[in-house]
Amino acid sequence: MAQAPFRSRTRQYVVLVLAIVLMVAGWIGFWKYAANAAHENIENWRAREAKAGRVLTCGSQEIGGFPFRFELKCDVASAVLGGGQIPVELKAANVHIAAQVYQPTLLISEFTGPLTIGDPGRPPAYSANWKLAQSSVSGLPEAPRRVSLVVSEPVITRAEPAGQVARADHIEIHGRLAEGSVSDRPVIEVAFEAKRFETAEGGPLLATTTNGSIDAVLRGLHDFSPKPWPARFREIQQAGGRIEIRKLRLQQGDTIAIGAGNLGINPEGRVEGQLNLTVAGLDAFVNRMAAASGQRVSMSISLGLGLLAGSKQVEGKPAIAIPLKVTNGAMMLGPLKIGEVPPLF
């Protein structure tokens, strides 16, 4: 009589153990299936990028993360970017991509430097390093909805002549699909922020440490299919597209500029448009530009800027309203030329 309950409990334990074993086996099978599917998606994405002239390879590749993550570890990651232009090769020490099993459409990537940049088969011309570099992609690889890149303390150096080219304390870029779809007239919202950015190769305009942020909308894309950037810019021009800068803030020392406007591309591939700025400390900026170029500010420019003065303020400081006009790539701040944008195609 006493053995009946014992046998019943034993059967319950056996059933429970079998159920657990089946669940574990099923999960292992699911994870392996999903990992193989992820690997296939990665290879399909690589083939898709190669058609646009972007060849991506790994020195060694490993897929792991069991039981709750999918992870791709790519050592000695390399990308050769061509697409009808002079090819450029980028190499990174390591790229680590991860996704949670329960959220497979959110990919988090971490990049390990240094990143070298140069012509394929030749010693690198530039090298970049950082304290932390991470990106996130929300959506399928062929149809992303949101993309973000965050880099802490990036530094770019040049091989010949040796020296630092650019640095920053922090850079962030965020993009999202605001309208349309990846295959039909997508409209992209972009937010960019840079803290304490410096470059020795940006001319007098960027010779001073700069803090900046831009909130913009890009219109005129036909689709999101892979293609070289010159072809994409030509597509935007032919569609009458533009970059709508909804909010801009730049600061160099005591000079602070805020504004908004629109930029387009003319048939020659040059940027055209206007930003309406309100600038505090404009005189300091003009003097820095003049000193950096070895010139003195002419009386006509000083007078022209002085006539624009008014009662406006930027962050509590007296300011001037002044347009930044871009004509055939030339950037004119009132009567003063401050730089030039090279052709986009």
Classify residue 246: in a domain, yes or no. Answer: no
Counting the structural domains of the chain, the total is: 1
Instruction: Look at residues 107, 121, 25 and name the one whose alpha carbon lies nearest to residue 72.
Output: 107
Per-residue pLDDT, averaged over 129-153, amounts to 87
Classify residue 224: in a domain, yes or no. Answer: no
Res. 11: pLDDT tops 60: yes
Per-residue pLDDT, averaged over 48-72, amounts to 80
pLDDT digits (tens, 9 = 90+) for 83-101: 556 678 889 989 998 888 7
Please give the single-letter amino acid code of residue 244.
E
Which of 85-94, 207-216, 294-303 is the least confident region? 294-303
- pLDDT at res. 299: 41
Classify residue 292: in a domain, yes or no. Answer: no
Position 112 confidence tier, pLDDT thresholds 50, 70, 90: very high
In angstroms, rounded to a whole number, what is the distance separating the alpha carbons of residues 181 and 198? 36
Instruction: Look at residues 34, 233, 40, 30 and name the one whose alpha carbon lies nearest to residue 142.
Output: 40
Classify residue 81: in a domain, yes or no. Answer: yes
Classify residue 299: in a domain, yes or no. Answer: no
Position 152 confidence tier, pLDDT thresholds 50, 70, 90: very high
Which of 1-5, 21-25, 126-130, 312-316 is the least confident region? 1-5
Instruction: Look at residues 63, 73, 71 and name the one whose alpha carbon lies nearest to residue 98.
Output: 71
Tokens of 84: 């009808």
Top-confidence residue, 213 or 121: 213
Task: For strands 155-158 and 143-152, give the pairing.
Answer: unpaired
- Torsion angle, CA of 160/207/250/189, rounded to 10 degrees? -20
Instruction: Look at residues 330, 328, 332 and name the one whose alpha carbon lies nearest to residue 340.
Output: 330
Residue 186: beta bridge partners? none
Classify residue 42: in a domain, yes or no. Answer: yes
Classify residue 138: in a domain, yes or no. Answer: yes
% of the chain with per-residue pLDDT over 90: 36
Question: What is the C-alpha end-to-end distance of the chain, expressed in Å?
Answer: 91
Per-residue pLDDT, averaged over 116-128, amounts to 89
Residue 174: beta bridge partners? 148, 191
Contact (CB, 8 A) for 276 and 258: no
Three-state secondary structure call for residue 17: helix
Position 307 confidence tier, pLDDT thresholds 50, 70, 90: very low
Q: Spell out the residues 6+ positions from residue 78 whose beta carbon is closer than 8 angstroms to its own.
A: 56, 57, 58, 59, 89, 90, 91, 92
| Averaged pLDDT of the chain | 83
Position 242 confidence tier, pLDDT thresholds 50, 70, 90: very high
Per-residue pLDDT, averaged over 284-307, amounts to 58
Classify residue 61: in a domain, yes or no. Answer: yes
Provide the residue range defining the domain that includes 109.
6-146
Res. 178: pLDDT tops 70: yes
